[in-house]
Amino acid sequence: MKKILNRATSPTPKFFKVLRNIGLALAAVGGTILAAPVVLPAIVITIGGYVAVAGGVLTAASQLTTTNDSE
């Protein structure tokens, strides 16, 4: 568990920072679609759910990527 916390707080490479931000944006868009106060077609709700999950996974994977400066 401590190793995961160390990875999460370690510096993230620039490329993965960009991917993390894209993931955050996708998660926000998906969440907005899911929480829309209007009735949307079922396919739009389904796509919104997939976009939110994909954004969350992309964000988490990008945040845990670190540089290996020990070599």
> Could you tell me if residue 70 is inside a domain?
no
pLDDT per residue as tens digits for the range 57-70: 999 999 888 876 55
| pTM summary value | 0.80
Q: How many domains does the chain have?
A: 1
Q: What's the rounded Cα separation, in Å, for the pair 38 and 57?
A: 27
Domain holding 23, by residue range, is: 2-63
Residue 12: predicted pLDDT: 85
C-alpha span between 34 and 25 (Å, rounded): 14
Given a contact cutoff of 8 angstroms between Cβ atoms, the answer to whether 17 and 62 are in contact is yes
- Tell me: pLDDT of 71 over 70: no
Which pLDDT tens digit goes with each residue over 4-39? 888 878 888 899 999 999 999 999 999 999 999 999
Residue 31 domain flag: yes
In a domain, 11, yes or no: yes
- Output phi, psi for 44, to 5 deg: -70, -40
